[in-house]
Amino acid sequence: MINLTLKEIAKITGGKIKGKENFKITEICPITECGKHGICFLEKLENLPTLEKLTAGCVMIPEEANKKDFKFSGNILYCENVKIAFMKLLKYVDKISDRHPKTVSSKAEISQKAKVSTTASIGAFSVIENGAEIGDNSIIYPNVYIGKDVKIGAGCIVYPNVVIREACALGNNVILQPGCVIGGDGFGYVFDGKMHQKIPQIGRVLIEDDVEIGANTTIDRATLKETFIGKNSKIDNLVQIGHNVKLGTSCIIISQTGIAGSVEVGQGTIISGQTAIKDHVKIGKFNTIGPRTGIMKDTKDKETLFGFPPTTPGEYFKIQAVVMKLPKIYKLLKKKFKDEL
């Protein structure tokens, strides 16, 4: 629940009001479930006719709609970019909510040699080891392990059951969703003729500002030096990132992707779900890699790749169209070459 006037919401979002400035909004809703004191958004102008039957208290719509003829009985908030305006409203509501812990629990285990900001919050049963540092306004939920000499910047949120192992570092405003592991050992072994011998992993993980890492994702520490996650990158749930990977700024990695050791991913690249990337490969900048793609060699900048072996989207879908016809083709071939098939 919220309690904001349209005037307050306009100030938060930068929108322009058509309606009652003092109208009270008490909930943020999807457009399909929006009530008389709710606010929702409509992004596509072709859907404006659906507003005629809507009972929402306010709808956020694009500024261009001001020139269109449509009917709506409620209040309107015209926005330059509806999605960004809606995001600003959600961020404001999230910031003022009391869902995050705001104290240091007496049940937390904090080393006397750790440095914890007086404005940080630490949940029950979390462990903070020698030499660790927690920055201003960072929030550590219950049951988190923060290893020796870990550095966590300001404004970070670390959710329950996260493990951050020794010497790893987080910048500012990093979000770690439940259960992710930062700095587990990289998968490094050498066969000595009799058995696999473990190669010690003595590097670390460095995560820059404004990165979000999803639930149960694992980022391995480097064998030497560091595994690096660039600013503003967003990593989904259930992703595996191997040792010494270098991930550029503002990358997106979607669920169940596996990136092997020493891969370099250029800035702005989007990697779709269930993609696999071979070790030591270099991915160019602003690539788009489709789901279930297998990358075995370097790519150039601004490539769009699908499938295994990867190819262009057009070629990929042509291949899939032929694959779907294989049973029919086989039936025809078997009829013609029945003694050979």
Task: List active site positions.
Answer: 243
The angle, 0 to 180 degrees and rounded to 10, between the axes of the packed helices 313-324 and 326-336 is 50
- Integer CA distances (angstroms), 174 to 151, 153, 231, 243, 255, in order: 12, 8, 9, 20, 19
The amino acid that residue 77 corresponds to is L
Token pair for residue 108? 């937390």
Q: Which residues contact 340 (CB under 8 A, 6 or more apart)?
A: none
- Integer CA distances (angstroms), 63 to 31, 131, 224, 254, in order: 18, 52, 53, 32
Continuous segment of H or E residues that includes residue 188: none
Strand runs labelled E in 272-326: 276-277, 282-283, 288-289, 294-295, 304-305
Task: Spell 220-238 as b/e; 16+ CB within 10 A means b.
Answer: bbbbeebbbbbbbbbbbbb
3-class SS string, 97-155: CCCCCCCECCCCEECCCCEECCCCEECCCCEECCCCEECCCCEECCCCEECCCCEECCC
The C-alpha angle with vertex 324 and arms to 318 and 330, in degrees rounded to 5, equals 115
